[in-house]
Amino acid sequence: MKNFKNILHYKRVTNCIILAALFIAPLITSDPYFMRLAVLTLIYSILSMSLCLLIDFTGIVSLGHAALFGIGAYVTAILGTKTGLPFWFILPISAISSSLIASFFGFITFKSLKGIYFALASWALVEILRAVYMNVDFFGGTNGIRGIPEPTIFGFSITSDVSFYYFALFFSILSLVSIERLLISRIGRAWMAIREDQIVAGVMGVNVFLFQIVSFGVSAFYAGIGGSIYAYYEIYISPNVFSIWESIFLVCMVLVGGKKSLPGAIVGAAIFTILPELLRGVGQFRMIIYGLILFLTIIYRPKGLIPPYWFLYEIKR
């Protein structure tokens, strides 16, 4: 264990190796099945990192991440199928609209709700949005929306699995780096102060209400990016994807991967994306295995699998 920590300290070297491995992975194997798993892992790692920011760094437990993910995906699907705008316009719009709705929701809830009550309110957000998607024809009803056009960049359309891999890789590295930068900035320190103690943070001059809204909004921004890429990749979305179970899955990724650790969130995303495929043969049993993994992690490794590790920075304690 100590050796493992020592290796982790050679930050630059490890990071370069990981990056290089990620970039050349499609050259080694471009098996569509493998590539699909890789793309989904990357998309879910964006989502789990954004949830990690919320749960581990601001201390807000949210069960509403599927709703934010869903807003991103639905905005992309509707704009993509109805207007045919280019993706570099739709993707930011999806992220921003998810962020705006989340900020508004935060604005009305953070004033009166704390802790577990907020988690429940965010769960209600998931259910209400799902009822809206299912009942309003504009959102495609229970059938969902199909035929989302592929993203095009510089006249090069991203359809093959390998190109999608690089597309998703670009956005997940971008998210990782920007979330890390945010976390060590003034805003991030305010979040961590709120996580440790809301009252003390308030006394130290942090506007707790505002920074909670900002945290929820920023988290939703990344969730919106994830949702947008998900919609582009899957071509078809339906309301059933964005249920409370999706939220619970995302929280599982964060909890199992590692507390207070963005790489942990990525590892969690990888575990929970790849595991279902490995367990495809056992049918219903795989959900039980998920439950067991979550349960055993909470009981035996309450801090998660991966120790806190920053890709870019050395945090002095």
Partner 1 sequence: MVKVLIDQISSSLVIGFTYALVALGFNLIFGILGIIHFAHFEVYMVGAFIGLMGAIYFKMNIVFVFLFAMLGAGILGIFIEKIAFKPIRQESTESQLFASIAIAIILQNTGLMVWGTEWTPFPELIISAPISLGIFQFSNLQIAIFGIVILLLVSLRLILFNTKIGIAVRAVSFNRDAAILMGINPDTIISISFGFASMLAGAAGVIMGMYYHMIYPLMGSTTGLKAFVAVVIGGIGSLPGSVAGGIILGLAEGLGAAYISSTWRDGIAFSIFILVLLFKPSGLFKVKSDEKF
Tokens of 123: 């769960």
Under rule CB under 8 A, residue 278 binds partner 1 = no
Q: How far, in Å, CA of 113 to CA of 296, rounded? A: 30
Of the candidate spans 36-44, 123-131, 187-195, 231-239, the one that interacts with partner 1 by CB under 8 A turns out to be 123-131
CB of 114 or CB of 181, closer to partner 1: 114
For the bound state, the minimum distance from the C-beta of residue 222 to partner 1, rounded and expressed in Å, comes to 21
Interface residue with partner 1, options 15, 29, 30, 135 (CB under 8 A): 135
Interface residue with partner 1, options 84, 205, 284, 315 (CB under 8 A): 284
CB of 110 or CB of 230, closer to partner 1: 110
- In three-state secondary structure terms, 31 is coil
Under rule CB under 8 A, residue 117 binds partner 1 = yes
Interface residue with partner 1, options 100, 113, 162, 187 (CB under 8 A): 113
Interface residue with partner 1, options 39, 49, 252, 267 (CB under 8 A): 252
Which amino acid is residue 203, in one-letter code? V
Please identify which residue in the block is written with the tokens 């905005």.
75
- Number of Cβ atoms within 10 Å of the Cβ of 170: 12
Size of the site for partner 1 (CB under 8 A): 39
For the bound state, the minimum distance from the C-beta of residue 282 to partner 1, rounded and expressed in Å, comes to 10
Interface residue with partner 1, options 255, 262, 269, 270 (CB under 8 A): 255
Under rule CB under 8 A, residue 32 binds partner 1 = no
Of the candidate spans 22-30, 148-156, 231-239, 244-252, the one that interacts with partner 1 by CB under 8 A turns out to be 244-252
Measure the N-to-C terminal CA separation of the chain; round to a whole number of Å: 20
Tokens of 214: 């900002």
Interface residue with partner 1, options 27, 302, 316, 317 (CB under 8 A): 302
Q: How far, in Å, CA of 88 to CA of 292, rounded? A: 41
Q: Which residues does residue 156 pair with via DSSP β-bridges, in sequence order?
A: 153
Which DSSP letter does residue 53 get? Answer: I
Cβ atoms of 304 and 258 within 8 Å: the answer is: yes
**∠ Cα 159 164 165 (to 5°):** 150
Under rule CB under 8 A, residue 291 binds partner 1 = yes
Closest CA to 227 of 213, 210, 246: 246
How far apart, in Å, are the Cα atoms of 100 and each of 63, 105, 110?
18, 8, 15
Of the candidate spans 10-18, 116-124, 175-183, 309-317, the one that interacts with partner 1 by CB under 8 A turns out to be 116-124
Interface residue with partner 1, options 31, 127, 196, 197 (CB under 8 A): 127
Q: How far, in Å, CA of 102 to CA of 108, rounded? A: 10
CB of 184 or CB of 248, closer to partner 1: 248
Which DSSP letter does residue 110 get? Answer: T
Interface residue with partner 1, options 58, 76, 97, 109 (CB under 8 A): 109
- In three-state secondary structure terms, 156 is strand
Q: Which residues bind partner 1 (CB under 8 A)?
A: 55, 61, 108-109, 112-113, 115-117, 119-121, 124-125, 127-128, 130-132, 134-135, 244, 248, 251-252, 255, 283-285, 287-288, 290-292, 294-295, 298-299, 302
